[in-house]
Amino acid sequence: MCCSIIGYCGDDGAAPVLVRGLKRMEYRGYDSVGVATLLPTDGAKDRDGRHDKANENDDNNDNCTKIMIRKGTGKVSDVNAEFGLDALPGKVGIGHTRWASHGKVTNVNAHPHQSSRGGVAIVHNGIIANFEVLRRDLENDGYLFCSDTDSEVIANLLHRHYVQTGDVKESMMRTVCMLEGEYAFVAMFEDDGTLAAARLHQPLVLGVGNDDLFISSDVLGFIEYTDEAVYVQDRNIVIAGGGGATAATTYEIFDFEGSAAEYEVTKVSKEFGDAYRGDYAHFTLREIYEQNQTMLKVNEGAGNGLEEAASLIRSSGGTVYLTGSGSSYNATLVAKYLFSHYAGIGMESIMSSELQFAANSIRRGAVLVAVSQSGESADVLNAVKIARNADCRIISIVNVLTSSLAHESDVVVGMGCGPEIGVAATKSFTSQLVVLYRIMAELAGGVAADALLPDMDDGVKAVAGAVSQVLENPAEIQRIAREIRDVSDIYVLGRGVHYPIAVEAALKIKELTYIHAEGIAGGELKHGPLALMDSSAYVIIINPFDSTYEETLTSAREIGARGAKIIGVSDRASDVYDYWIEVPSMSASAGADFAALYPVLEIVPIQILAYYAALERDKDPDYPRNLAKSVTVR
């Protein structure tokens, strides 16, 4: 399960704080949402005027409990409007947005979950691999289960251990020793309002305010309240707040064995506070339009990582692997071409989810370049683990410098593009490309670098300027989006370094519009894909004026002869195209020869096309169905 979790204790009402945090983190999961709070002892009504009692839409309500739960399926704003999540009373609470992996999307399967005997409620991110065995054991002990999730076992285990020990710390230690898998969870104990959380291979951050504490899967959950954070380490437990003489801002961090853990309170970059839509209709649109600026910030975000990465690759002994998932994997395909063509360094690009099947072929002592926006993708982290077992050195290209991937790396290169909330990668993809170009230029050096670009700084400025021109006038792209609204299949063709961009373009179309889309290598057209070309097909041709131009135009003619509609993405018009998406020229004819940077430019109009086509089809481009931003389960 890839989800957002959050806990709060402090002087303010918990529910409004939790709901605001969940809205900021909704990109992590958005098929259901819920909040639980600990009722005040004065019997106050909630802000809806209802008396405090267990939640009407929760099946775990047979016990007398001070914990009130409201939850339902849908997005945060919709569920909040229906059930009044932010109206719950109390100053201690937990919240959750879900992306389902165990159990269907139903109110019952939504979090939080409470022990069947009351007393403890939890929110959970990740997978409990041995939940079936634990569930049978708990059922034999008289505990009941009402959901299909693996998460309920945590609540019931905690309750059983708390009854046995009367101690939150001991209950947490006993529970985590029984759990297998990858998880982070926050538990709320009703006896005194203590919050307790644990982390194993899933993100967990403690936010430290003046009069309150937050426990979250993401700093976005609390950034508007405090910029002081503790990035909880793996196999650590946090206990926060509590009643009696313990202040709400008291916390303790220890490892799974109970020993005090080392940690530090760090200042979170205020850039995370900018994760809002502003004047844009969607986060995705804002992030597309930020790209002419974010690609210029790569040097700032990368620090010394570019030179360090180049140095480590030079010392690799000639064996370098690239890995990533989704758009990040497509970025590695571009890099594979660039490093070979311009720096003379051969690299093998492997999907992170597939690397486990190639583990025996990984050369010991090689270098693995892992690319990830979040730095928390489970497949990427597993690939790094496999490479570590082969004594490989790890270079990470990551947007979140405090992520698990960054901690596992020898060299970290930051993208510096700021938070990306839209689930489909846009600005992170182009920033990844610019990072890879800059590392490649560091490696190329001398004559090879001069052959590539007179100056990489000039090249990035040139492509950023070209992107600005594309963004300034999207009218033709919007018109094409209307034309493809009802099509069932779209193909995207590219040659050489443009083929990975064709694959990425197809991914964007699939993610945002739900139209079937497929990337095609130009040279493979006659080896199968040509059979699909008829009057119902639309084919996007990525065809800037470089060494691939003429051959790709020939492929377009072959496709057009079969009746398919051709959408050309090029700096040159052609009567072969039924529709033309013009991009500025980056070739020598435009001045300096920046043609090698076409891939950074040519994906942008496809992102815009996918966005507007999604709107034409009445789809939410920020939150594609069945997908989540950071896939933290394998």
410-442 pLDDT, tens digit per residue, is 999 999 898 888 889 999 999 999 999 999 988
- Residue of 2, 3, 392, 417 with catalytic role: 3
582 phi/psi in degrees, rounded to 5: -80, 135
CA 95 to CA 87: how far, in whole Å?
Answer: 13
Q: Which two tokens stand for residue 263?
A: 């940690």
DSSP H or E run through 320: strand 320-324
Q: How confident is the model at residue 46 (pLDDT cuts 50, 70, 90)?
A: low
Task: Please report which confidence band the pLDDT of residue 50 belongs to, taking 50, 70 and 90 as the band edges.
Answer: very low
Residue 622: pLDDT band by 50, 70, 90 thresholds? confident
53, 55, 83 from 50: Cα distances, Å? 9, 11, 12
Cα separation of 158 and 594, whole Å? Answer: 60
Q: Average pLDDT for residues 224-248, to the nearest whole number?
A: 80
417 is catalytic: no
Report the chain's mean pLDDT, rounded to a whole number.
88
Strands (E), 523-596: 538-542, 565-570, 579-582
Q: Identify which of 526, 542, 437, 443 has the alpha carbon closest to the alpha carbon of residue 491.
A: 542
Q: What is the C-alpha to C-alpha distance for residues 145 and 139, in angstroms, rounded to an integer?
A: 8
Under 8 Å CB-to-CB from 574, ≥6 apart: which residues? 553, 556, 568, 580
What are the φ/ψ torsions at residue 570 (nearest 5 degrees)? -160, 160
**End-to-end CA, the chain:** 9
Bridge partners (DSSP) listed for residue 229: 207, 266
Secondary structure (DSSP) of 15-81:
HHHHHHHHHHTGGG--SEEEEEEEPPTT----TTSPPP-S-TT-S--SS--SEEEEEEES-HHHHHH
C-alpha–C-alpha distance, residues 305 and 172, integer Å: 39
Residue 246: band (very low, low, confident or very high) from pLDDT cuts 50, 70, 90? very low
Q: Which residues in 351-374 are b (16+ Cβ under 10 Å) and which e? A: bbbebeeeeeebbeebbbbbbbbb
pLDDT of residue 82: 93
Q: Which two tokens stand for residue 583?
A: 């991009």
* Sign of the alpha-carbon dihedral angle for 204, 207, 208, 214: negative
Whether the pLDDT of residue 373 is over 70: the answer is yes
Q: Give me the pLDDT at residue 285, please.
A: 92
Q: Is 629 a catalytic residue?
A: yes
Residue from 3, 67, 4, 8 nearest 39 by CA: 67
Q: What is the pLDDT of residues 433-473, one digit of tens each?
A: 999 999 998 887 744 444 555 578 889 999 999 999 999 98
Q: Tokens for 386?
A: 């496999």
Q: Which residues are CB-neighbours of 506 under 8 A, at least 6 positions away? A: 490, 491, 492, 517, 518, 519
pLDDT of 53 = 41
> How far apart, in Å, are the Cα atoms of 15 and each of 6, 75, 169, 244, 249?
11, 16, 25, 22, 18
Q: What is the pLDDT of residue 452?
A: 52
Distances in whole angstroms, Cα of residue 88 to Cα of each of 48, 107, 193, 563 = 8, 18, 15, 60
Could you tell me the sign of the dihedral formed by the alpha carbons of 124, 269, 414, 470, in that order? positive
Are the C-beta atoms of 316 and 345 separated by less than 8 Å?
no
Please state, for a pLDDT cut of 90, what percent of the chain lies above it: 68
Q: What is the rounded CA–CA span in Å between residue 356 and residue 351? A: 10
Q: Provide the H-helix boundaries in 45-201.
A: 76-83, 131-140, 152-165, 168-178
- The CA-atom distances, in angstroms, between 122 and each of 161, 207, 212, 264, 416 are 15, 18, 19, 26, 34
Token code pair at residue 575: 């009567």
Looking at the DSSP assignment, which residues form a beta bridge with residue 251? 240
User: pLDDT value at position 278?
Assistant: 61
Residue 56 pLDDT? 42
Number of neighbouring beta carbons within 10 Å of residue 72: 18
Range with the poorest average pLDDT among 85-89, 284-288, 308-312, 589-593: 589-593
Among 198-207, 538-547, 580-589, name the one with the lowest average pLDDT.
Answer: 580-589
Q: Is the pLDDT of residue 41 over 80?
A: no
Q: What pLDDT, on a 0 to 100 scale, did the predictor assign at position 60?
A: 43
Instruction: Report pLDDT digits (tens) over 82-134.
Output: 999 999 999 999 999 987 666 688 889 999 999 999 999 999 998 899 999 99
Annotated domain spans of the chain: 4-274, 276-452, 472-634
State the average pLDDT over residues 262-270. 80
4-274 and 472-634 share one CATH topology?
no
User: What is the mean pLDDT of the segment spanning 352-373?
Assistant: 93
pLDDT band (50, 70, 90) for residue 44: low
Which listed CATH number (2.60.40.10, 3.20.20.70, 1.10.3130.10, 3.40.50.10490) goes with 472-634? 3.40.50.10490
**Which residues 6+ apart lie within 8 Å of 467 measured at CB?**
291, 292, 295, 430, 600, 601, 604
Annotated catalytic residue within 91, 427, 565, 629: 629
Burial 261-294 (b: 16+ CB within 10 A, else e): bebeeeebbeebeebeeeeeebbbbbbbbbbbeb
CB 176 within 8 A of CB 256: yes
Specify whether the backbone of 244 is left (phi greater than 0), alpha (psi in -120 to 50) or beta. Answer: left
Q: Which CATH superfamily is domain 4-274 in?
A: Aminohydrolase, N-terminal nucleophile (Ntn) domain (3.60.20.10)
Q: Write out the two tokens for 618.
A: 């009445």
**How far apart are alpha carbons 442 and 536 in whole angstroms?**
46
Per-residue pLDDT of 69-88, as tens digits, reads: 999 998 898 999 999 999 99
Q: Who contacts 247 (Cβ-Cβ below 8 Å, separation ≥6)?
A: none
54 pLDDT exceeds 80? Answer: no
Percent of the chain with pLDDT over 70: 88
CA–CA separation, 631 vs 634, rounded Å?
A: 8
> Which residues in 533-565 are b (16+ Cβ under 10 Å) and which e?
beeebbbbbbbbbbebbeebbebbeebbeeebb
Helix (H, G, I), strand (E, B) or coil at 565: strand
Instruction: State the residue for tokens 């230029």.
Output: 441
pLDDT for res 38: 93
More confident call, 632 vs 226: 226
Is the separation of the CB atoms in 594 and 586 below 8 Å? yes
Which residue has 């992107």 as its token pair? 467
- Domain 276-452 in CATH 3.40.50.10490? The answer is yes
